[in-house]
Amino acid sequence: MGPDKVQRNLLITGGSRGIGAATARLAAASGWDVAINYTRDAEAAQAVARDVQALGRRAVALQADVASEADVCRLFAQAQAALGPLHGLVANAGIVAMKARLDEMPVERLQRMLDVNVLGSWLCAREAVKCMSTRHGGRGGSIVLLGSVASVLGSGGMYVDYASSKGAIDTFTIGLAREVATEGLRVNAVRPGIIDTEIHADSGDAQRAFKSADVIPMQRPGTADEVANAIVWLLSPAASYVTGAVLAVSGGR
Catalytic residue status for 241: no
CA distance 223 to 197: 7
Q: How far apart are alpha carbons 169 and 247 in whole angstroms?
A: 12
d(CA 82, CA 119) in angstroms, rounded, equals 25
Cα distance between residue 230 and residue 183, in whole Å: 23
> ∠ at Cα 229 (84, 205), nearest 5°?
105
Of 38, 159, 162, 241, catalytic:
162
Residues that are catalytic: 162
